[in-house]
Structure 1
Amino acid sequence: MAALIQGKAQAYLVYETAGSVRLKKYPIGAEIRVHLKGEPRSTWSSYTIWNLDLESKCIQVSETYCLPLKELDGFDLTPQGGNQMAKMSGKFLLQWTFFSGVQEATRTLFKPPAPHLGWLHAIVAGTAAVTWAYSKLFLNGQKKLNKRHRLKLIDLKMVAPKS
Structure 2
Amino acid sequence: MNPTPAVLAAFAGAVLTVGTYWLVESAGPAGWEEAVVESADRAQSSLSTEPGAGDDEQHHFVLRTASGERFDVRGRGRKLVQSEGTWLQVEISDVGREAQAIKVYGTRISVDSGGFGVFWAAGIGGGLLLGAVASCADAKRPIPAVASVVAGLGAGALPVLLLF
Higher relative contact order, structure no. (Cα contacts within 8 Å, ≥ 6 residues apart): 2
Q: Which bracket does the TM-score occupy, shorter chain normalised?
A: 0.3 to 0.5
Larger fraction in helix: 2
